[in-house]
A and B are shown apart, each in its own frame.
Chain A
Amino acid sequence: MSTRLELRGLTRHHRGQHVAALNGLDLDVNAGACLALLGPSGSGKSTTLRLVAGLDQPTRGTVLLDGDDVTNTPAEQRGIAMVFQRALLFPHLSVIDNVAFAARASGMSRRDSRAASQRYLELVQLGDFADRCVADISGGQAQRVALARSLAAEPKVLLLDEPFSALDSALRADMYALLRSIRDALNPTIVLVTHDQSEAAAVAEEIAVLIDGVLEHHSDVRTAYVRPSTLAVHRLMGGLNEIPGSIASGVHRSELGSHVLPADICARDGPATLVIRQEVVRLAEPSASSITGTIESLQSAGIRQRARVRVGSSSVFVELPPQVSAAAGTVVGLQLPTDALHAISTRAGGAV
């Protein structure tokens, strides 16, 4: 089931639109890996999946599976299955016949196809639902059946187009666990489209970020959080702290003072925005040697609080640990871990 997926210069211009929906996408997904394609609405995520699946033709570029060019191969012959945002279960077929659809389409008898499909239905923990009518199952169960149906096709690559976005948070957590167990059992190559960075982090080990049809970032999950390529990626990953300043000789200078950037950042001199995750900034007692600011406001984030600390004209957001409480108006010190610092050049609009 594991196949390497490569996209080379994939471009798609929708008819009647001047701007490309997808512009020169180069992306590799290793066999058995799970890549989350992240981006805001209209960024080209679903367009990418449709081009990979063969449901739309690219204006330019190629899709390669294990090195074979499948750009002009019809969708039904690519061996790439797709689960859509809506389960799209065939209403005239029972649950088991939905899962058996691929086997039936390949010419297998009804009895054999049902027997072969039962395994996949059990994999999504719905073995007892085989004879149910699809109208009689819940939204979460429908998505599980849709997943089983795609897995039963034994695809080379499995594409998931925001399949969990219509589910409530508890069901989503169940689906993430299910996806992990499926990966353990079948090790399929997966591309998941989502606009939710926490979902991407929960299920994927790689994140690619599309902004306005252009790939702005591709890395492992941790790097996407702490070393975003652009400010847009930083914001999409939920980052809140952006401190304008400039870099000179590997040191970022701003209202927060001078900060030596980590050695793995190839710092280019010039204007740059210092970014740091709100989760890693710590409050401390104010001192002459630390950054000192005033808590301007506090926002509840579940059992945690998020403090907005004013330092000069800049704001620094701090996600407080559950056991720590603070009050607005308090003067506090800020600790910025050096290895969590990152700077994004504002001259070229990209990472330094």
Chain B
Amino acid sequence: MSRVVRAALVLWFLVPLVPILLWAFANRWPFPDLLPQQWGLDGVRSGLAAGAPHAFVVSATLGLAVAAIATPAGALAARALTSGRLPIPRVVEAVLLAPLILPAFAVALGLDVLVLRTRVPSPLAVVAVLSVAAIPYTTYLMRVAFGAYDKGFEEEARTLGASRATVLIRVQIPLLAPALSGAAFLAFLVGWTDYVVTLLIGGGRMVSVPILVASFAAGTGNSSVVAALSLAAVIPPLILLTLVARAGPRTGTST
């Protein structure tokens, strides 16, 4: 790949972030000026005053809960799909991947009434629906991982006296750690970035980061607070991404 193409790709990814970065620290930026007239932290202060810390807690909880459910569920589904023991694997796979095809809006619009009538607590319902939305991603990623996974390691461990629990903890999870952390990261993003499901099924009582950002974005003159919140929203996934990268292929050395 030539340098020019590489530079163009970097620009393509970074240029859209420049206005957000500028807006986040702009107290005043009238049109048609190229740069803000006045720099400051008004946007950050407005965000904090509007309940940004709580929204971050809500979003992080949603992301973590979805990751905690969708990652093992996806791993189990992937294991079943690659085991060759499912009677109708294509059908099972289609059902598991169906949430990717169905628009979240259509699903959420139908389910909000059901959640109200069955009196299921809305946070629980939001986590449940988002987990279903995340399972296709975790299943797909884990299926690829299980496809490359050598079951011989488990058999070897068993002949060395390892119980099924020991095999899981000392062999399977360490060998699949890179894929599991990747799947967990994707599932976290589903919860972290969701707007439609949280709004419709949460009934407006769950104020997550995307909902807070959207409420400011719907008004006028809120560009700096929208930019500050959006910028802050990138930080937790970036931290997680760093952790996931560190969980990459591991090789053991004695300590």
Residues of B within 8 A of A88 (CB): 150, 152-153, 156
Residue of A whose beta carbon sits closest to that of B177? A92
Separation of A159 and B158 alpha carbons in the complex (Å): 13
- B252–A93 touching, CB < 8 Å: yes
How far is it, in angstroms, between the C-alpha of A159 and the C-alpha of B254 when the chains are bound? Answer: 28
Count class of interface residues, chain B? 20 to 34
CA distance A86 to B152 in the complex (A): 9
Q: How far is the CA of A134 from the CA of B155 in the complex (A)?
A: 19
Q: Is the CB of A102 within 8 A of B160?
A: yes
Contacts of B150 in A (CB 8 A): 88
Asked whether any CB of chain B lies closer than 8 Å to the CB of A80, the reply is: yes
Among residues of A, the one whose C-beta sits closest to the C-beta of B250 is A92
> Is B251 a contact partner of A134 (Cβ separation < 8 A)?
yes
* Cβ 8 A contact of B158, one of A55, A97, A106, A155: A55
CB 8 Å contact bits of A120-161 with B (1 = contact, 0 = none): 000000000011111100000000000001100101000100
Contact indicator B254/A130 (Cβ below 8 Å): yes
Within the assembled complex, what's the spacing in Å between the Cα atoms of A28 and B157? 26
Q: How far is the CA of A134 from the CA of B153 in the complex (A)?
A: 14
Q: Would A105 and B163 count as touching, CB distance under 8 A?
A: yes
B173 nearest CB neighbor, chain A only: A92
A310 contacts partner chain B, Cβ-Cβ < 8 Å = no
B161 interface contact, C-beta 8 A: yes
- Using Cβ atoms and an 8 Å threshold, which residues of chain B touch A135? 251
- Asked whether A82 and B250 contact (CB < 8 A) given A92-B175, A104-B170, A105-B170, the answer is no
How does the 8 Å CB contact mask read for B236-254 relative to A, with 1 for contact and 0 for none?
A: 0000000000000111111
Q: Which residues of B147-176 have CB atoms within 8 Å of chain A's CB atoms?
A: 150, 152-153, 155-164, 166, 170-171, 174-175
Q: What chain B residues lie within 8 Å of A78 (beta carbons)?
A: 159
A90-B252, A134-B251 given as contacts; is B160 within 8 A of A153 (CB)? yes
Whether A96 sits at the interface, judged by CB under 8 Å, is yes
Which residues does chain A contribute within 8 Å of B170, judged by CB atoms?
Answer: 90, 101, 104-105
On whether A82 and B156 interact (CB within 8 A), knowing A76-B163, A92-B175, the answer reads: yes
In the bound complex, how far is the Cα of B36 from the Cα of A57, in angstroms? Answer: 74
* Contact partner, A76, options B158, B177, B250, B252, Cβ 8 Å: B158
B250 CB contact (under 8 Å) in A91, A95, A98, A132: A91
- Report the minimum CB–CB distance from A269 to chain B (whole Å): 50
Nearest residue in B to A77 (C-beta to C-beta)?
A: B161
- Measured between beta carbons, the chain A residues less than 8 angstroms from B161 are 76-77, 79, 102, 105-106, 153
Residues of B within 8 A of A131 (CB): 253-254
Q: Is A275 part of the contact surface with B, judged by Cβ < 8 Å?
A: no
Q: Which residue of A lies closest to B156 (CB)?
A: A88
Docked-complex contact B252 and A55, CB < 8 angstroms:
no
Contacts A82-B156, A84-B152 given; indicate if A94 touches B254 (C-beta within 8 A).
Answer: yes
Docked Cα-Cα span, A86 to B252, in Å, equals 18
Q: What is the chain A residue whose CB lies nearest that of B162?
A: A105
Expressed in whole angstroms, the Cα–Cα distance for A131 and B161 within the complex equals 23
B159 contacts A101, C-beta separation under 8 Å: no
Residues of chain B within 8 A of A84, CB atoms compared: 152, 155-156
Q: Is the CB of A94 within 8 A of B153?
A: no
Is there contact, CB below 8 Å, between B159 and A133? Answer: no
Is A81's beta carbon under 8 Å from chain B?
yes
Question: Which A residues, 51 to 98, have Cβ-Cβ distances below 8 Å to chain B?
Answer: 53-55, 74-82, 84, 86, 88, 90-98
Return 14 A-B CB contacts under 8 Å, by A number. A53-B159, A55-B158, A75-B158, A75-B159, A88-B150, A88-B153, A90-B170, A94-B254, A95-B254, A105-B160, A105-B163, A131-B254, A133-B251, A149-B160
List residues of chain A with CB under 8 Å of any chain B CB: 53-55, 74-82, 84, 86, 88, 90-98, 101-102, 104-106, 114, 130-135, 149-150, 153, 155, 159
